[in-house]
Amino acid sequence: MKNKYSLHIAFLSVLLLTILVNCKKDSVKVALTVTLAAVTNITSNSATTGGDVTSDGGSSVTAKGVCWGTNQNPTTSDSKINSGTGAGSFTSSLTGLNSGTTYYIRAFATNSVETAYSSQATFTTVALAPALTTTNITAITSTSATGGGNITADGGSAITARGVCWSTAQSPTTSNSKTTDGTGSGTFTSSVTGLTAGTTYYLRAYATNGIATSYGNEISFTPGGTTVTDIDGNVYHYITIGTQVWMIENLKTTKYRNGDAIANVTVNASWATLVTGGYCWFNNDAATYKAAYGALYNWYAVADSRNIAPAGWHVPTDAEWTTLSDFLGGTGVAGGKLKETGTLHWLAPNTDATNSTGFTALPGNYRNYGNGSFNGVGYYGYWWSSTAYDGSNAWNFFLGNLNSTVHRDYFSKQDGFSIRCIRD
């Protein structure tokens, strides 16, 4: 009987030991592990890296890749790239990075149990030269002017110097005359002094960061004697473009040169039937539209023998408009060099607008000859020539917000368009 109980006890002991061993084996887990490859091919907005899943943790790897951010210890909640499944090595291409920026990066791997991360590394994208535009020249006197610029991107490196530079030769640099107007991105104003009256200058905004100095578009201007006043007392600035001298504002006069009034026609039906000189303000609202866009005139006001332009000036002919566009490289590109930059007046995208000439063309639009209605500003600017096409139509030049083309066409003499004068 004793031997029988001894055998039972021995059997139970062996069974218990077996269970304990198996439980201990089950409690030992294999870790999910991943390493990060070196970050290479670093540019201003991209880089290459990858990793290696060295152990799947006993469960299939359902995702692997890299994650990154500008804060330490990034996770898959930050920017990431999935680069496949399963154990083993992988390659990841990072895009859409910001220039001159330091990033933290880790490789990751996910199985049914967890997401594991590699140790952290850092890298810094390549900084670029700044991007900027030159502000239109204003407040021109015989010895001074006001300029400036707008730095739209610092290239990923702090702007340490900015201003404008100018010379009597094209493409001025900071080796020529210059201003120094602070640091940082954004807009700035520059006071240009020590100029000589009657001399044509070329001016560009500049910005310097830790990589390079960049320049904005070039603008030319001539100080001294650069304004003309019409019979109403409106003052216009003017610039030289090639062999021509153009006003840089649209005409605002309400009188002919001899003092006679030009008819101000506000009623739509009256405008539509008018066959003598007339003018209006856009939407009949001088307070809103006069200062920026000037007046809209029908062609009969242009052709009137009493002369609508100030003394020494005239409405350009069809041939003179063509001379302007030809000098600027042809009708396909000249418009961008004439249009005011930005979207203060032009509607987006204001394609290819650089205003490198300083002409500052604005989208004053027009008044329709058929019913006297006004068409919304922002899309187009239309300017009369003094050249008739036939008994009912005359040549016109216009610019649009969607391209850099100078368009030439003929329109009804009863249409209401802007006027930009040229010097005799």
DSSP 331: T
Query: Which pLDDT tens digit goes with each residue over 336-361?
Result: 999 999 999 999 999 999 988 889 99
pLDDT at 23: 47
d(CA 365, CA 196): 37
d(CA 202, CA 65): 53
d(CA 371, CA 291): 26
DSSP H helical ranges for 169-267: none
* Residues forming a β-bridge with 133: 150
Question: Contact at 8 Å (CB) between 379 and 362?
Answer: no
Q: Residue 80 is encoded by which pair of tokens?
A: 């990431």
Beta strands 213-215 and 201-208 are: antiparallel
Domains of the chain with bracketed CATH:
32-124 (2.60.40.10), 131-221 (2.60.40.10), 228-423 (no CATH)
Identify the three-state secondary structure at position 43: coil
Question: Contact at 8 Å (CB) between 292 and 346?
Answer: no
* Residues forming a β-bridge with 365: 381
pLDDT at 7: 55
d(CA 107, CA 80): 9
Q: Which residues of the chain have pLDDT under 50?
A: 1-2, 21, 23-27
pLDDT at 22: 52
CA-based radius of gyration for the chain:
36
d(CA 247, CA 227): 8
Question: Contact at 8 Å (CB) between 376 and 271?
Answer: no
